[in-house]
Amino acid sequence: MQDLFTPEINSQADGLPTGEDWTKDNAKTQQYDGYKTQAIRNEIDGFDHGRTSHVGVPAIFGMNFQSVSTAQKLPTSGGRPGGYMADGVTPGPVLANALEFVDSQLGSFVKEIHAKGLDENTTIILSAKHGQSPTDPAALTRIPDGPLLAGLNAAWKTAHPGAGDLVAHSTDDDAILLWLTDHSQAAADFAKTYLLAQSGQGNDINGHPKAFTASGLATVFAGRDAAKYFGVPAGDPRVPDVFGIVTHGVVYTGGTSKIAEHGGADPQDRNVPIVLAGVGVDDAQTVRGPVETTQIAPTILRLLGLNPGELKAVQREHTQALLD
């Protein structure tokens, strides 16, 4: 049985002004997550996600929570500060509440699994697809990327009379990823040179001016170097023509709407927990050696009695399951 339930988090949120989605208020994000957790409980009970048809308990089900993510990124929500405290470690009020919410929802899954007598053939895997950077409020430098890209396009057209914009698409959070209209190495190098030459004023956690240089970038990979960074042949359209790794703390956003982001190569983006519990897991222990989220897929296949070696990624990268 396949039962896809993926409501759009960027849709209009109940009770918020027109145009504001579920991410703009953490209480609304928790409401959104609540719909998905109820769907999981329905599936544990053997129903489809809407509890309209009894279809049997699926072999595998899962969901992602958004509540912690928005709590890490929102400057304030419900009149309380988001993100972490000044030490960069202790969750602030909104984030602490979001963590408690997620904990309670996970507890409801465990309770439902127990109530249905499924403990003896259930393994739970908990992780995250990303973290957020920076966790330390003092490290934040917000930079509007719009003027940087507008300047790049203008410089390109000046150097190439009659040409259109150079930037076809950008994804700029705590990294810069640019897909260009001209995929030549010369065009990628042009963009790299331009970005590394730009300086200006962003703003800090309090909205006060904060200077930046090199467009807030520590390293830029252009053309062939970008493809090499991602481990694919040059010209692969999935890879940006330009990939910029920011100086720690830089977030590309207009105004003061965010205090953290993800999508880059910062360790705080990539360092996430992995927790396993249930069947196949030894007594409580902490593995302090490095593990990766790529190991989750082969672990699930092994738990289902399937061969992880059938995955192309496992064949190419020799990814090990988390369980023996």
How does residue 213 score in pLDDT terms, banded at 50, 70 and 90?
very high
Residue 299 in any domain: the answer is yes
- Closest by Cα among 178, 304, 151, 300 to 239: 178
Section 114-128 average pLDDT: 95
Q: Are 291 and 308 within one domain?
A: yes
Domain assignment of residue 21, yes or no? no
The distance in angstroms from the start CA to the end CA of the chain is: 28
- Is residue 300 within 8 A of residue 144, CB to CB? The reply is no
CB-CB contact of 322 with 296 (8 Å): yes
The average pLDDT across 48-72 equals 95
Q: Is residue 247 part of a domain?
A: yes
Has residue 287 got a pLDDT over 70?
A: yes
Average pLDDT over residues 132-139: 97
Q: Give yes or no: residues 212 and 162 share one domain.
A: yes
Residue ending a domain, choose from 267, 282, 307: 267
- pLDDT over 90 percentage in the chain: 94
Is there a single domain that holds both residue 162 and residue 258?
yes
- Burial tier of 15 (Cβ tally within 10 Å: 0-12, 13-18, 19+): exposed
Say if residue 282's pLDDT is above 70. Answer: yes
Q: Percent of the chain beyond pLDDT 70?
A: 100
Q: Output the pLDDT for position 281.
A: 84
Query: Is residue 279's pLDDT more than 90?
Result: no
Task: Return the DSSP state at 308.
Answer: G
The answer to whether residue 144 is domain-embedded is: yes
The pLDDT value given to residue 181: 98
Rounded mean pLDDT, 229-241: 94
Are 142 and 262 contained in the same domain?
yes
SS3 98: helix
Q: Do 211 and 277 belong together in one domain? A: no
How many angstroms separate the CA atoms of 132 and 82, rounded?
12
Full domain range(s) for residue 69:
26-132+271-317
Q: How many domains does the chain have?
A: 2
Which backbone phi and psi does 16 adopt, to 5 degrees?
Answer: -105, 160
> Are 162 and 77 members of one domain?
no
Cα–Cα distance for residue pair 314/310, rounded to 1 Å: 7
In this structure, the answer to whether residues 78 and 144 fall within a common structural domain is: no
pLDDT of residue 215: 98
Q: Which tokens in the block code for residue 276?
A: 């396993």
Average pLDDT over residues 147-152: 98
Q: DSSP characters for 189-240?
A: HHHHHHHHT--EEEE-TTS-EEEESGGGEEEEEETHHHHHHHTS-TT-TTS-
How much is the pLDDT for 284? Answer: 73
Single out the residue of 99, 108, 35 nearest to residue 69, CA to CA: 99
User: Do 89 and 174 lie in a common domain?
Assistant: no
215, 244 contact by CB (below 8 A): yes
Average pLDDT over residues 208-237: 96
How far lies 297's CA from each of 40, 195, 237, 259, 311, in Å? 20, 38, 25, 32, 9
Residue 1 has pLDDT above 70, yes or no: no
Q: What's the chain's average pLDDT?
A: 95
| Residue 65 resides in a domain | yes
